[in-house]
Chain A
Amino acid sequence: MNNLVILPLIIPLITGIILMFLKDHVRFQRIVSVLSFIINIGLSFMLVQNVYEHGIQTHELGNWPAPFGIVLVADLLASMLVLTANIVSFCCVLFAFRSIGSGRENFSFYAFVQFLITGVIGAFLTGDIFNLFVFFEVMLMSSYVLIVLGGTKIQLRESIKYILVNVISSALFVIAVGYLYSVTGTLNMADLSVKIKEVGQPGILTVIAILFLVVFGLKGAIFPLYFWLPSSYQAPPSAVTALFGALLTKVGVYSIFRTFTLLFYHDQPFTHTLIGYMALLTIVIGCIGAIAYSDIKQILIYNIVIAVGVILYGVTIATPEGLTGSIYYLLHDMVIKGTLFLLAGAVIVVTGTSDMKQMGGLIKRHPLLGWMFFVATIALAGIPPLSGFIGKLLLLRSGLETENYTFVAILLISSLAVLYSVMKIFMNCFWREPKLSAEQEKGSTKGLLYPSALLLVLSIFMGVGAEWIYPYVADAAKTLADPSIYIHSVLKE
């Protein structure tokens, strides 16, 4: 038993409940949210350290042994994602203090953020496939509320699409779990892995694997299942989009990692090749979208799609180094997408629009915002001292080693497209002649910049301090590459 595993999950849940009681006191809501995030970040940090030193930690809920009860499993990948998710959502909430407006704050905005985090962290930590479904629903229902809260016309329209797509994908998830349960007779992931290995993944299990790929692909927005994402993420306010962009799709990607490294890894020539092609097309589609638009939010949203493709390809390169690169890129991407969406949110607050053609010359009056955006863009593209570099370097190297030359070429070209698309934002918004005079600006950046500065510092640290972070990520990849470590620590055989 180890309470450290479950505390990062319970704390946001309890905080959410307390915030429901405090619904008329916005000041207290803010204080409680901040306190809970700080406690939770500390606890997740301890969890990462604990897992790194003592191996995988488990928590058997209700004191039932592993295949019979639900078990929470914190391996290094899950616990590092918990830590990153906590930090990013902390910054998004700090951003929301100044930008979300009292109309939303009075209707339990912070409580729903806490429930969203509960779902995300639960999905990372669980070791049971049906429990994963439940946490997906916890996360999705809070995201439905956050996407519609405020009730503007565009939010209402987009939330209908978003809910429709997710209800269908959740139904598919239940069907997939039903099939899997009727074939194997268990729901515990470690036990599933053992059972699937015993029968050597015959055709029916490969079919189920593809069904899972469709389900998680719909959640994680991979080609050709990404169609709902660009318009849905356009609708909510920037703080919420940052939260979604940094966390929600990554949960889908994490689930693909988990299922295809732990459960369905016996028919790699078919499943992993398919994932590889889907990942490549995802990158291509993302690049096309990112170059085509002249709307800040749309460009960043298509950059999410590109990153999902890049991370996903790591599953196909099933070498420890390829997985290390993928995990590093995953952690980096959560942080940098948070930063970019928050900075874009600040730009939108100042100009009152997200259309690039209607802005210009912002650097004259907002030099700090401008240069922070610049650093974030080059970090996103993967310029050496910053955090995007190491992940891509490792992916490239293992791509060359395993002779995936198409991937290497597409990754390099996509980096260029990413850099072009975000540099386009920088040059159009921050350079050129100013379009708005001081009086015409729609709002001030007061208090909006420090959450993104916090994330930016973290991102720079992840690049410069790679020496410290690399051993953790490499250890996480080792666990992913060898499922027996996971199985032994859960089933205690």
Chain B
Amino acid sequence: MKVNDLILQTVTKVVAFIILIFSIYLFWTGHYTPGGGFVGGLMASSALVLMLLAFDVKTIKNVIPFDYKMIIATGLFIAVATGLGSFVFDVPFLTHTFGHPHLPGLGEVSLATASLFDLGVYLVVVGVTMTIIQTIGESE
């Protein structure tokens, strides 16, 4: 029997983007409001899981051709590298700094190196969740 899930697929195409944007919002505002890398990463992977539910594993692999294990490694590397960056400035490991540069178009923004560390967390969470779900989904 052929299942017709047109409604699910159409809604997913719209909703997945909203969830992804929300996850990026959570990631960026984590410094001042609730949110951050962990919950942002979980939210992003929930968008990917929704797409997995609406379509199938193969299609998603074609659309998003990432090896999620490499994403874990990249995230870990970014997190450790931000820590190591402090060695260059002769301060202890994981010392973070911040500034309020004036960016064209955005005005004055506050940028902290802690968000680079958070980016690492974000990538690791996305990578781990998707690796778990894909591996369980594929095994017979």
Contacts and interface: CB of A to CB of B under 8 A. Distances in A.
A20 B93 contact: no
A39 to B, nearest CB: 15
B137 interface: no
- Classify the secondary structure of B's interface with A: helix
A103 interface: no
30 contacts: A1-B90, A1-B92, A3-B87, A3-B93, A6-B92, A6-B93, A10-B80, A10-B83, A10-B84, A10-B93, A13-B80, A14-B80, A17-B73, A17-B77, A17-B80, A20-B69, A20-B73, A20-B76, A21-B70, A23-B69, A59-B92, A59-B93, A61-B92, A61-B93, A62-B93, A62-B94, A62-B95, A62-B96, A63-B91, A63-B92
A321 interface: no
Contacts of A3: 87, 93
Interface in B73-90: 73, 76-77, 80, 83-84, 87, 90
A75 interface: no
Contacts of A1: 90-92
A128 interface: no
A20 B92 contact: no
Nearest to A62: B94
Indicate the member of A10, A14, A60, A62 with the most B CB atoms within 10 Å: A62
A62 B92 contact: yes
The 10 closest A-B pairs by CB, nearest first: A20-B73, A63-B95, A62-B94, A17-B76, A1-B92, A6-B93, A61-B94, A17-B77, A63-B92, A62-B95
Interface residues of A, number: 15
A128 to B, nearest CB: 13
Contacts, number: 39
A117 to B, nearest CB: 15
Interface of B: 69-70, 72-73, 76-77, 80, 83-84, 87, 90-96
Indicate the member of B72, B80, B94 with the most A CB atoms within 10 Å: B94
A3 B94 CA distance: 12
Nearest to B83: A10
Given A3-B87, A17-B73, A21-B73, A60 B92 contact: yes
Given A3-B87, A61-B93, A62-B95, 9 more contacts: A1-B90, A10-B80, A10-B93, A14-B80, A17-B73, A21-B70, A59-B93, A62-B93, A63-B91
B87 to A, nearest CB: 7
A20 B70 CA distance: 7
Nearest to B96: A62
Contacts of A23: 69
Contacts of B92: 1, 6, 59-63
Contacts of A14: 80
Nearest to A13: B80
Interface in A1-23: 1, 3, 6, 10, 13-14, 17, 20-21, 23
B10 to A, nearest CB: 38
A110 B33 CA distance: 40
Contacts of B77: 17
Interface in A370-428: none
Given A10-B93, A61-B93, A20 B80 contact: no
A60 B95 CA distance: 9
Contacts of B90: 1
A59 B92 CA distance: 7
Contacts of B94: 61-62
A14 B87 CA distance: 15
A60 B84 CA distance: 14
Interface string A455-477: 00000000000000000000000
A396 B44 CA distance: 61
B89 to A, nearest CB: 10
Nearest to B90: A1
B40 to A, nearest CB: 21
Contacts of B95: 62-63
Nearest to A61: B94
A20 B73 CA distance: 6
A397 B93 CA distance: 44
A90 to B, nearest CB: 22
Contacts of A13: 80
Contact of A20 (B72, B84, B87, B96): B72
A17 B94 CA distance: 17
A58 to B, nearest CB: 10
